[in-house]
């Protein structure tokens, strides 16, 4: 979580180079033919921290100095050590890479989605890292390339697409690109008639929306802490830019979007616990935005539109949200009328409004379901979804006046699929399903089980394995988890994990508190003062897998990323004896230091998820589990930690410090490897699909050669 001004300069990279970095390293790197590579050891520098009467010497604090050649040397040495330690497994990694590419659909194309007179879709071609976005006339005719990331990323180490919005008349495209991995996107506007891109671009843009005339473009930019805080209107003909709204509260971020109906632009200011929405008439883009309901503590609401009505998803009647309607001409909160009451058993996560119906995305029993509501009659029904665990979400539903709803569906044994739901006859039409070479769903068994938590709460687990598995405790297993922000961990199809399943693994997902699987209450029971539940829930899930004979502690691997990396660090400190291998990705492990630094991206807004350590009561919650401070002199499992130098969400120094401190304390001989992508990745790693598979293959090889 670092500001934009601290990205390492190209000049520094060129001057140092890898050889120069290694030459300056304070560590003693092993010779290439060394039998037992020696781990790196970062220099320790006293850095006392006194907070609420507690003293802590943060001796690796200096690793934050991203322009310091010694820091770069240490990171490069960590990569070199990891390479040396995994040299023997390289043939297996190459074999696994071949398997993963063999299941990759190298020549692929998305299902076309209609917008106006055009059909929009993407295409992947064999050998190319990235998608190409295209369109063709709905009435027939030649296709047109809109954005080719392979071409735009030529010579770049990283390229990713952010915004992609076409004007009402189909003549202009607003799109944004991240060329570093820092999730910092630059906005471009392309004339699709002349196939030229405007010379003017706008940096640090997070969301965009077109006015009706296609001559005014609304966009939001972020501040130095990567908080989207200013909404601008860009008059493309004159080039004039006008500030429409600025968000002064550092807990809140701004977003802008056009309603599916096209009748309104919604400018939403939201924190983790409250929101407010302003209406902008896309036909009068210079008019003053109209506030629907002013923010108040604890009240979240979001808008959709159809006809004369605005539909409001609001939590004012309960944490799982209820649905209200109000007149678009006078949307004051006093006039809101209940359409669907709050349901303590089902979280209303999203509302999609169309000309004659609404589709409500509800999560009940840990699973998403779609409820179709007829606007004329008020009647409703549920879309039938077939399996005991799956992922379902709305797809590209761009057409407002339609009797179909497109959705994505997949499960641990059903590859990614796209359906059109025909509302009139209540049937789902399969439009596309990924065909995975050699994969037979009949071979695999999928189940949902529960683990008793420390306080008696039943925690759901999703489990998949080869059919006929004998639960004798001899199998290797991989347990995944997250448990933060009310995010429900998806139980979708993992093409890569087939390589583990085919080698006899049990794959399990722990739906721990702090996530959103069982509604808002599930989130509340795993955040702020109750955060420890997330970690003890995960431990209970691991113990349940062992109790049922799926695996044993020595053969159980665990994995998580970002806040899931915090989960990995916390549970490993609590129960290092319960796990054989830990795979931790971009882990949020330096909790106290990060949440004390309000200049970093995300920090202030996330006081409402984790707490503010400047407040003693909240500090006490956080210090009880913060992985970095709770490392101790004892044995730990084998561990692989990955991060990226340009990650904007969890700064590279968090895992770097964590690994350095763990090395100084651990008493075991298990491998501790740290890999850092120094110049070509972000929070999600590499952008290119083949590059990502290389990393996955290497991680699987480590897992397979380390677990007994």
H/E element holding 232?
strand 228-235
Nearest to 304 by CA among 251, 362, 350: 350
CA-CA distance, 667 to 159, in Å (whole number)?
42
Verify whether residue 647 is a known catalytic residue.
yes
In sequence order, which ranges of 200-292 are alpha helices (DSSP H)? none
Closest CA to 332 of 279, 369, 375, 373: 279
Q: Which residues contact 672 (CB under 8 A, 6 or more apart)?
A: 39, 636, 638, 639, 641, 659, 662, 663, 666
CA distance 315 to 523: 14
DSSP annotation string for 350-384? EEEE-SSEEEEEEEETTEEEEEEEETTT--EEEPP
Specify whether 683 is catalytic: yes
Catalytic residue among 130, 216, 683, 699: 683
Report yes or no: 173 and 187 within 8 Å, Cβ to Cβ.
Answer: no
Q: What is the DSSP string of 319-335?
A: TT-EEEEEETTB--GGG
Choice among 25, 306, 562, 648 that is catalytic:
562
DSSP letters spanning 405-472: EEEEEEETTEEEEEEEEETTTTEEEEEEE---TT--GGGEEEEEEEEE-TTSPEEEEEEEEETT---S
Instruction: Taking each helix axis as running N to C, give the angle between helix 69-85 and helix 10-24, from 0 to 180 degrees, rounded to the nearest 10.
Output: 60
In degrees and rounded to multiples of 5, residue 381 shows phi and psi of: -155, 165
Query: In whole angstroms, what separates CA 246 from the centre of its chain?
Result: 26
Catalytic residue among 647, 648, 695, 699: 647
Relative to beta strand 301-306, strand 253-258 is: unpaired
Phi, psi (5° rounding) for residue 31? -65, 155
Q: How far is CA 586 from CA 293, 488, 662, in A?
A: 38, 19, 16
Name residues whose C-beta falls within 8 Å of residue 669's C-beta, 6 or more positions apart in sequence.
none
Type and span of the H or E element at 704: helix 689-706
- b/e sequence 626-639, b meaning 16+ C-beta within 10 Å: bbbbbbeeeebbbb
How many other C-beta atoms can be found within 10 angstroms of the C-beta atom of residue 668? 12
Rounded CA-CA distance 707/477 in Å is 9
Dist. CA 476–CA 374, nearest whole Å: 49
Q: How far apart are CA 492 and CA 289, in angstroms?
A: 40
Angle, CA of 513, 514 and 518, to the nearest 5°: 60
What is the C-alpha separation between 326 and 328, in angstroms, rounded? 6
Pairing of strands 118-124, 108-109: antiparallel
Report which secondary-structure segment, H or E, holds 559: strand 556-561
C-beta atoms surrounding 620 within 10 Å: 14
How far apart, in whole angstroms, are the C-alpha atoms of residue 518 and residue 345? 8
Cβ atoms of 324 and 338 within 8 Å: the answer is: yes
Nearest to 663 by CA among 47, 35, 60, 57: 60
Span between the terminal Cα atoms of the chain, in Å: 37
Phi, psi at residue 224, to the nearest 5°?
-65, -20
Buried b (16+ CB within 10 A) or exposed e, 127-166: ebbbbbbbbeeeeeeeeeebbbbbebbeeebbbbbbbebb
Q: What amino acid positions are annotated as catalytic residues?
A: 562, 647, 683
């Amino acid at each position: 979580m670092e500001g934009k001004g601290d990205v390492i300069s190209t000049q520094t990279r060129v001057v140092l180079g890898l050889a120069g970095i290694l030459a300056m390293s304070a560590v003693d790197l092993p010779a290439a033919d060394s039998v037992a590579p020696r781990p790196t050891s970062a220099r320790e520098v006293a850095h006392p921290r006194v907070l609420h009467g507690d003293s802590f010497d943060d001796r690796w604090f200096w690793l934050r100095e991203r322009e310091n050649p010694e820091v770069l040397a240490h990171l490069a040495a960590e990569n070199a050590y990891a390479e040396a330690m995994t040299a023997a497994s390289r043939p297996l990694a190459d074999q696994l890479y071949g398997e993963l590419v063999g299941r990759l659909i190298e020549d692929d194309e998305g299902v076309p989605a209609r917008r106006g007179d055009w059909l929009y879709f993407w295409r992947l071609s064999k050998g190319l890292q990235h998608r190409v976005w295209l369109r063709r006339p709905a009435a027939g005719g030649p296709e047109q390339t809109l954005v080719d990331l392979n071409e735009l990323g030529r010579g770049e180490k990283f390229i990713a697409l952010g915004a992609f919005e076409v004007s009402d008349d189909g003549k202009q495209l607003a799109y944004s690109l991240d060329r570093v991995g820092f999730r910092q996107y630059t906005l471009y506007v392309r004339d699709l008639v002349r196939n030229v891109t405007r010379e003017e671009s706008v940096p640090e843009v997070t969301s965009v929306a077109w006015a009706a005339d296609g001559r005014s473009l609304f966009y939001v930019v972020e501040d130095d802490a990567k908080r989207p805080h200013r909404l601008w209107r860009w008059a493309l003909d004159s080039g004039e830019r006008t500030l429409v709204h600025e968000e002064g509260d550092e807990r809140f971020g701004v977003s802008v979007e056009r309603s599916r109906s096209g009748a309104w632009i919604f400018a939403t200011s939201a924190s983790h616990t409250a929101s407010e929405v302003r209406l902008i008439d896309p036909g009068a883009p210079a008019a003053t935005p109209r506030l629907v309901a002013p923010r108040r503590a604890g009240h979240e609401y979001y808008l959709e539109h159809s006809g004369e009505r605005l539909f409001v998803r609001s939590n004012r009647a309960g944490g799982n949200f209820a649905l209200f309607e109000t007149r678009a001409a006078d949307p004051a909160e006093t006039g809101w009328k209940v359409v669907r009451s709050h349901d303590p058993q089902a979280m209303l996560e999203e509302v999609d409004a169309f000309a004659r119906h609404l589709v409500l995305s509800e999560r009940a029993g840990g699973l998403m379901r779609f409820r179709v509501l007829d606007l004329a009659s008020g009647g409703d029904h549920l879309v039938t979804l077939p399996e005991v665990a799956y992922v379902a979400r709305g797809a590209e539903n761009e057409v407002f006046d339609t009797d179909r709803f497109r959705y994505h569906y997949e499960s641990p044994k059903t590859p990614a699929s796209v359906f059109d739901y025909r509302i009139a006859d209540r049937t789902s039409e399969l439009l596309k399903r990924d065909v995975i070479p050699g994969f037979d769903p009949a071979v695999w068994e999928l189940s949902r089980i529960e683990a008793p938590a420390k306080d008696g709460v039943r925690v759901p687990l999703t489990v998949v394995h080869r059919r006929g598995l004998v639960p004798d405790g001899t199998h290797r297993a991989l347990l995944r988890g997250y448990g933060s922000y009310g995010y429900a961990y998806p139980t979708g199809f993992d093409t890569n994990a087939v390589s583990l399943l085919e080698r006899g693994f049990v794959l399990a997902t722990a739906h721990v508190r702090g996530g959103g699987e069982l509604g808002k209450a599930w989130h509340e029971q795993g955040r702020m003062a109750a955060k420890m539940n997330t970690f003890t829930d995960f431990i209970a899930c691991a113990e349940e897998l062992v109790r049922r004979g799926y695996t044993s502690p020595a053969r159980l691997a665990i994995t998580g990323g970002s806040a899931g990396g915090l989960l990995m660090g916390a549970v490993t400190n609590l129960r290092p004896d319960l796990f054989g291998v830990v795979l931790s990705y971009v882990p949020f492990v330096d909790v106290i230091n990060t949440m004390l630094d309000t200049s970093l991206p995300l920090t202030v807004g996330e006081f409402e998820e984790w707490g503010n350590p400047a407040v003693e009561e909240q500090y006490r919650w956080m210090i009880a589990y913060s992985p970095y401070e709770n490392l101790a002199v004892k044995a730990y499992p084998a561990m692989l930690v990955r991060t990226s130098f340009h990650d904007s969400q969890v700064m590279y120094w968090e895992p770097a410090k964590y690994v350095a401190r763990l090395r100084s304390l651990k008493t075991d001989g298990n491998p501790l490897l740290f890999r850092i992508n120094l110049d070509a990745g972000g929070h999600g790693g590499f952008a290119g699909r083949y590059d990502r598979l290389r990393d996955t293959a290497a991680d699987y090889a480590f897992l397979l050669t380390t677990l007994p």
